[in-house]
């Protein structure tokens, strides 16, 4: 079974999650259906209720999930109204850990500003703050594991408690860590300062522990668009087969959700993936995945034409060793790596990594303590931290455009400003797309246009 996973490397955090057989079985017993516009919805729902089957219907994209439909025959009599169907698939957190090298077991500077090379690169050493820092009328949906409401760098910018799509979980407080890391890149405003330190954040929780259903993420995308979220950040990803019928159902569901969001005026930013794969050709990608007889894509980043796909670069403005790449990449953002000597000598260079916010309710890592950080800040790398940098710049573009023209820019206009404002680097286009995102460059373009 294909798995979803966070595309971020979690260093020295001791987080390793196991998918329970019960959770996997529950997902397999749920069927997804893409219904035609002509489908008799009320009649179908009555049929499901008579069979005592639990269901969830997303009207905006005509998508239905049915729990307990192990035979996949619950809607046989309505087959002519079904465009596609397939079983639900488990989405899983995948983490990689590393030991703290002896060479860095010493106190380093505790001044947070000295570690923010990635933010400086995107903001032109803070120059973009002089043009625009964002405001709470512009909101970014963080579709993730929630956000730590108690984090002093984030609390003032969480403008709405959002919503949880995890069954049985009503809170959007982050108990996993990933969503808080993403949020800090976007709008931290304290010891750390994000790229858009005054923009509004709203958590849409789809992960509580290690797994999520595709349906939860699809629902979150649709709900965020209905809630008028300006930007939807998706720092997650998986690989899906273009030949496998089950995978095709999930792909089509995401296509519907993405198209709905774009039509509602929400721009979707997604990570390219953290496996170092070339996504140029689905057949070749499958071979890299160890499945030479298949044809696969990375989803949502890279696999959905409606989303902005983001790769990760290092502190030398080169493609990070772990970042996926290919012509599907639209733009890049700095997200760090282990330094230039890591591959040849195995040496980890802290200065090449990035730092971000982390929940106060999760124990501080050994690495963070050695660096002298307070509880609530961690070293991190990954395309999960590249995507939110682009989301933050998109939010700034919207804020600046609204202030100048008294209206919101279209999704295509936002993309235009993103791509025109980039920092050009020597890395090829299939690695960094238009270039490395640059808030100052994009804002300056808006400010100076007649």
| Whether residues 409 and 303 fall in one domain | yes
The whole-number pLDDT of residue 54 equals: 85
CB of 30 closer than 8 Å to CB of 212: no
Q: Is the pLDDT of residue 267 over 70?
A: yes
CB of 41 closer than 8 Å to CB of 75: no
| Whether residues 217 and 327 fall in one domain | yes
| Whether residues 46 and 9 fall in one domain | no
| Whether residues 274 and 139 fall in one domain | yes
| Whether residues 380 and 294 fall in one domain | yes
| Whether residues 135 and 198 fall in one domain | yes
pLDDT tens for each residue of 426-443: 999 999 999 999 999 999
Q: Is the pLDDT of residue 73 over 70?
A: no
> What's phi and psi for 387, nearest 5 deg?
-55, -45
State yes or no: is 365 an active-site residue: no
pLDDT over 90 for what percent of the chain?
66
| Whether residues 205 and 138 fall in one domain | yes
- How many structural domains is the chain composed of? 2
CB of 301 closer than 8 Å to CB of 421: no
Residue 72: which pLDDT band, with cuts at 50, 70 and 90? low
State yes or no: is 5 an active-site residue: no
Q: Is the pLDDT of residue 108 over 70?
A: no
Active-site annotation holder among 144, 210, 213, 230: 144
Q: What's the whole-number mean pLDDT along residues 45-62?
A: 84
| Whether residues 347 and 399 fall in one domain | yes
State yes or no: is 384 an active-site residue: yes
Residue with the larger pLDDT of the pair 272 and 24: 272
Domain range for 76:
21-92
Q: Is the pLDDT of residue 4 over 60?
A: no
pLDDT tens for each residue of 286-317: 999 999 999 999 999 999 999 999 999 999 99
Active-site annotation holder among 178, 266, 275, 337: 178
Q: Residue 333: which CATH number?
A: 3.40.50.200
Q: What's the whole-number mean pLDDT along residues 140-169?
A: 97
| Whether residues 187 and 156 fall in one domain | yes
- Output the average pLDDT for the chain: 87
| Whether residues 86 and 187 fall in one domain | no
pLDDT tens for each residue of 6-48: 444 443 333 333 333 334 444 457 788 888 888 888 888 888 8
CB of 235 closer than 8 Å to CB of 383: yes
pLDDT tens for each residue of 205-257: 999 876 778 889 999 999 999 999 999 999 998 899 999 888 898 899 999 99
């Amino acid at each position: 079974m294909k798995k979803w996973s966070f595309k971020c490397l979690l260093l020295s955090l001791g987080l390793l999650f196991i998918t329970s057989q019960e959770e996997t079985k529950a997902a397999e017993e749920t069927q997804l259906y893409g219904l035609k516009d002509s489908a008799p919805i009320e009649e179908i729902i009555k049929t499901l209720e008579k069979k005592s089957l639990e269901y969830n219907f997303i009207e905006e994209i005509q998508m239905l999930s049915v729990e307990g439909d192990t035979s996949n025959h619950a809607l046989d009599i309505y087959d002519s109204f079904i465009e596609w169907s397939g079983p639900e698939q488990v989405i899983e957190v995948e983490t990689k850990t590393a030991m703290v090298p002896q060479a860095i077991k010493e106190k380093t500077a505790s001044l947070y500003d000295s570690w923010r090379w990635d933010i400086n690169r995107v903001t032109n050493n803070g120059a973009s703050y002089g043009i625009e820092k964002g405001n709470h009328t512009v909101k970014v949906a963080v579709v993730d594991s929630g956000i730590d409401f108690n984090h002093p760098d984030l609390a003032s910018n969480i403008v709405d408690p959002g919503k949880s799509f995890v069954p049985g979980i009503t809170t959007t407080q982050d108990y996993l860590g990933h969503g808080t890391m993403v949020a800090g890149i976007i709008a931290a405003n304290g010891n750390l300062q994000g790229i858009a330190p005054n923009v509004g954040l709203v958590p849409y929780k789809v992960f509580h522990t290690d797994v999520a259903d595709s349906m939860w993420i699809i629902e979150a995308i649709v709900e965020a668009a209905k809630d008028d979220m300006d930007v939807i950040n998706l720092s997650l990803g998986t690989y899906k087969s273009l030949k496998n019928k089950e995978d095709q159902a999930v792909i089509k569901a995401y296509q519907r959700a993405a198209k709905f969001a774009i039509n509602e005026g929400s721009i979707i930013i997604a990570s390219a993936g953290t496996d170092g794969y070339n996504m140029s050709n689905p057949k070749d990608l499958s071979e890299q995945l160890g499945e030479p007889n298949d044809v696969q894509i990375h989803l949502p980043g890279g696999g959905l034409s409606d989303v902005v796909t983001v790769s990760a670069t290092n502190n030398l403005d080169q493609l990070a060793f772990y970042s996926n790449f290919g012509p599907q990449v639209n733009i890049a953002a700095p997200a760090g790596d282990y330094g230039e000597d890591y591959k040849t000598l195995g040496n980890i260079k802290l200065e090449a990594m990035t730092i971000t916010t982390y929940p106060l309710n999760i124990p501080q890592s050994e690495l963070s303590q050695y660096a002298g950080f307070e509880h609530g800040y961690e070293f991190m790398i990954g395309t999960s931290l590249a995507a939110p940098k682009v989301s933050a710049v998109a939010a700034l573009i919207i804020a600046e455009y609204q202030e100048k023209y008294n209206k919101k820019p279209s999704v295509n206009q936002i993309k235009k400003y993103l791509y025109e404002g980039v920092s050009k680097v020597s890395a090829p286009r299939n690695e960094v797309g238009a270039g490395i995102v640059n808030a100052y460059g994009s804002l300056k373009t808006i400010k100076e246009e007649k």
